[in-house]
Amino acid sequence: MADKLISKIPDGPLSEKWKKRKSEIHLVSPNNKRKLEIIVVGTGLGGASAAASLGELGYNVKVFCISDSPRRAHSIAAQGGINAAKNYQNDNDSVYRLFYDTIKGGDYRAREANVYRLAEVSAAIIDQCVAQGIPFAREYGGYLANRSFGGVQVSRTFYARGQTGQQLLLGAYASLNKEIAAGTVKSYPRHEMLDLVIINGEAKGIIARNLVTGQLERFGAHAVVIATGGYGNTYFLSTNAMNSNGSAAMQCYRKGAYFANPCFAQIHPTCIPVHGEQQCKLTLMSESLRNDGRIWVPKKLEDVEKLRKHQIKASQIPDEDRDYYLERRYPAFGNLVPRDVASRAAKERCDAGFGVNETGKAVFLDFSDAIRRLGHQKVAERYGNLFEMYEKITASSPWEEPMMIYPAIHYTMGGIWVDYDLQTTIPGLYAIGEANFSDHGGNRLGASALMQGLADGYFVIPVTIGDYLSHKFAEPKTDINAPEFAAAEKAVQARIDRLFSIKGTETVDSLHKELGHIMWEYVGMARDEEGLKTAISKIKALRERFYKDVKVPGNQFEFNQELEKALRLEDFFDIGELMAYDALNRKESCGGHFRVESQTEEGEAKRDDKNFMYVAAWEFKGEGKEPELHKEELKYEFIEVKTRNYKD
């Protein structure tokens, strides 16, 4: 079945591919668009922008989210910014350079054509967002301001204080509201997709649970777009929102959509360290802080001891006794190395015993130099709200003492496999934003998630979906009384009934926490063959325990958050296992995936292009069976494949 992996990348020079594809795509006339229905699941940057743009085009759109309002999707929490190749700073930025940085940052595991298109449309995103009234930061002359992010040497990041994701999402949500008011989009908040419905091999609808009444509801369409984000919460503790989950992606996977590169998960270097066992969520401190903050640990172990016993404060350690280890190891990029590199370097120092808090799992992020250089006001303008947030949580002021940070799971580069049109291996099923795999390879650069979500939603899917739908306008509306809908609903009902019938003793969260421990221990920042095999067997055992002993209180036909969590945990078990299989197969270190067996003498990641320069696309083969691997070879025609070097 490997022939399903047809990437549909247009021929020709890189800069002409998107133009070429657009010119080939069949159009749907306005009177026919009215006859076509599209389901969009998820209302983050990808889903909201897609639903709004498709509505503007005249399609009938139904948009679903699990929250009480589309505005609460987790894109809202993105802090630092959004990249665009505008070259407003005259620092020699260009579409090619943004493309190059993204491919290199992704450790040569992303598709050239997709990434180039992303860079190409990036500038239009900023135009669109400004037109929507998003209050980006401005210079005193009234022009847009920029800052720099990890893994790049230009300033191409646009931002709205530390709330860029919020502002971009409110922009997309406003466009969505405009279309809801116009009647082209119908919104279904507090609805959770529980299965994909396939008729004659094509995606034709979904089964969703109304989270208020608990009823299962059927929704039909001519095409389905999945925009449900990533699966970072497999680890229980992550920077993802509590309700973020990978369930919609898993439902598609079980119905035949291939799942690509599941092992590529990003561990973000700047999160607030874990404070105790009762914690359920980690808080990210924006990467933008690395523009002006310097990361260090003490050079002397005796200083570490004193810090842990609260005998001295960080500010009392003189500069010559501090090890600014990123500046030391990577002089060219310093504190702005990509996230995977910064995270591993923090782990290396902490494993060597230099962690600066009681748990030994923290390093300093210090602003004292920046405050001296820029003054209080400038620093406050750039990071004021982040400093406040840090102080609220930790009761320590970054104005006086350095922040303490440690890596945490943040983003998943892997996702549903899609072709150049963002269509999955199931015709009529599309995946956009973090839910797909296509643009970030083994590691995503900062401020690129927002860019990708909006690129897919505003500029790619509204065009590419037309090619599929241009053949569908003569088809009648999908009949939700079709036997395929009944069968899918019945299967979902059986899943729910099974959960209530177990009546065990363990809570959903306690089991999820255990899954998280397994994942962090064996499928975390450093992975090896033995550990990954252990992970697979431990996950299987935990899943068995779940089905024997989980306790789901209440009933189906009410607002029931425990049932929601239990259904999601079932899917997290499957994702966790799939991640371990993928990590086991990928015997190289690459991006966020570090195999202990594959490293240089200096402890840097060692990629293996000869054997692993491919996208690993996994096919579901049935419950309890090993998934089957399909390979999409990656060809680099326009970029020279190099070893990533952030040293010089």
Partner 1 sequence: MNFNVKIWRQRNAKAKGHFETYRIEDIESDASFLEMLDILNEKLIREGIDPVSFDHDCREGICGACSLYIDGRAHGPDDHVTTCQLFMRHFKDGATITVEPWRSSAFPVIKDLVVDRTAYDKILQAGGFISVRTGSAQDANNILIGHDTAEESMDAAACIGCGACVATCKNGSAMLFVAARVSSLALLPQGKVEARKRARSMVAKMDELGFGNCTNTRACELECPKGITVSHIARLNREYLKAKFSE
Mark the segment that binds partner 1 (CB under 8 A) among 96-104, 304-312, 548-556, 614-622.
Answer: 548-556
**Smallest separation, CB 608 to partner 1 (Å):** 38
Element (H, E) at 577: helix 561-585
Nearest to 279 by CA among 505, 541, 504, 517: 517
**Nearest residue to 378 (alpha-carbon basis) of 366, 389, 370, 386:** 370
Q: Given the complex with partner 1, which of 135 and 201 has the nearer CB atom?
A: 135
Alpha carbon distance 217, 414 (integer Å): 30
Question: Cβ of residue 502: shortest distance to partner 1, in angstroms?
Answer: 13
339 labelled catalytic: yes
Shorter beta-carbon distance to partner 1: residue 170 or 523:
170
Contacting residues for 530 by C-beta, under 8 A, at least 6 apart: none
Tell me which residues in 158-177 interact with partner 1 (CB under 8 A).
160-161, 163, 166-167, 170, 173-175, 177
Among 62, 86, 218, 290, binds partner 1 (CB under 8 A): 86
Out of 16, 127, 321, 369, the only residue in the binding site for partner 1 (CB under 8 A) is 127
Nearest-angstrom CA–CA distance, 648 and 642: 14
Find the shortest distance in angstroms from Cβ 632 to partner 1: 30
Counting residues that bind partner 1 (by CB under 8 A) gives 80
605: left (phi over 0), alpha (psi -120 to 50) or beta: beta
Confirm if 506 and 543 have CB atoms less than 8 A apart: no
Q: Which of 112, 80, 82 is nearest to 99 (CA)?
A: 112
Q: Closest distance between partner 1 and the C-beta of residue 214, in Å? A: 10
Is residue 378 at the binding interface for partner 1, with CB under 8 A as the rule?
A: no
Helix axes 483-502, 529-549, angle to 10 degrees: 80
Of the residues 8, 20, 26, 275, which one makes contact with partner 1 according to CB under 8 A: 275
Candidates 30, 31, 90, 142; binder of partner 1 (CB under 8 A) is 142
Instruction: Name residues contacting partner 1, limited to 579-638 (CB under 8 A).
Output: none
Question: Nearest distance from residue 628's CB to partner 1, in Å?
Answer: 35
**Out of 92, 140, 310, 640, the residue judged to bind partner 1 by CB under 8 A:** 140
Tell which positions 353-372 bind partner 1, by CB under 8 A: none
Which structure tokens are listed for 46? 């990808």
Cβ at position 419, least distance to partner 1 in Å = 22
- Print the binding letters for residues 188-217 with partner 1: x by CB under 8 A, - otherwise: -x----------------------x-----
Q: Which of residues 451-510 bind partner 1 (CB under 8 A)?
A: 458-459, 462, 505, 507, 509-510
Among 558, 597, 626, 628, binds partner 1 (CB under 8 A): 558
Looking at the DSSP bridge assignments, the partners of residue 133 are: none
Alpha-carbon distances of 99 from 85, 120, 392, 404, rounded to whole Å: 9, 8, 38, 33
Residue appearing with tokens 């309002």: 69
DSSP letter, residue 354? I
Separation between Cα atoms, residue 511 and residue 507, nearest integer Å: 7
CB atoms within 10 A of CB 576: 27
In one-letter notation, the amino acid at residue 432 is I
- Residue closer to partner 1, measured from CB, 550 or 634: 550
Q: Report whether 468 contacts 428 (CB < 8 A).
A: yes
Nearer to partner 1, 285 or 616 (CB): 285
CB of 58 to partner 1, least distance (A): 11
Which ranges of 106-220 would DSSP assign to H, the alpha helix? 112-131, 164-182
The letter for the amino acid at 536 is I
| Stretch 392-411 residues interacting with partner 1 (CB under 8 A) | 392-393, 395
Q: Binding marks (x or -) toward partner 1, 312..351, rule CB under 8 A?
A: ----------------------------------------
Q: DSSP character for 26?
A: P
Beta-bridge mates of residue 218: 207
**Least distance to partner 1, CB of residue 148, Å:** 19
Residue closer to partner 1 (CB basis): 76 or 488? 76
Name the residue among 562, 610, 634 with its Cα closest to residue 111. Answer: 634
Nearer to partner 1, 240 or 589 (CB): 240
Which is the catalytic residue, given 147, 161, 218, 339? Answer: 339
Residues 39 and 217: their CA atoms lie apart, in Å, by: 14
Q: Does 549 bind partner 1 (CB under 8 A)?
A: no
b vs e for 487-517, b when ≥16 Cβ sit within 10 Å of the residue's Cβ?
Answer: ebbeebeeebeebbebeeeebbeebbebbbb
DSSP 197-233: EEETTEEEEEEEEETTT--EEEEE-SEEEE-----GG
- Which of 286, 598 has the CB closer to partner 1? 286
Burial of 201 (0-12, 13-18, 19+ CB in 10 A): exposed
Residues 36 to 55: which contact partner 1 by CB under 8 A? 49, 52-53
Q: Establish if 561 lies at the interface with partner 1 (CB under 8 A).
A: yes
Stretch that binds partner 1, among 107-115, 278-286, 481-489, 602-610 (CB under 8 A): 278-286
CB of 84 to partner 1, least distance (A): 9
Among 401, 484, 562, 608, binds partner 1 (CB under 8 A): 562
247 sits near partner 1 (criterion: CB under 8 A): no
DSSP state of 353: I
Rule CB under 8 A: say whether 136 interacts with partner 1: yes
Nearer Cβ to partner 1 (144/639)? 144
- Binding characters for partner 1, 64-83, by CB under 8 A (x = yes): ---xxxxxx-x-xx------
CB of 68 to partner 1, least distance (A): 6
Q: Which residues are tagged catalytic?
A: 339
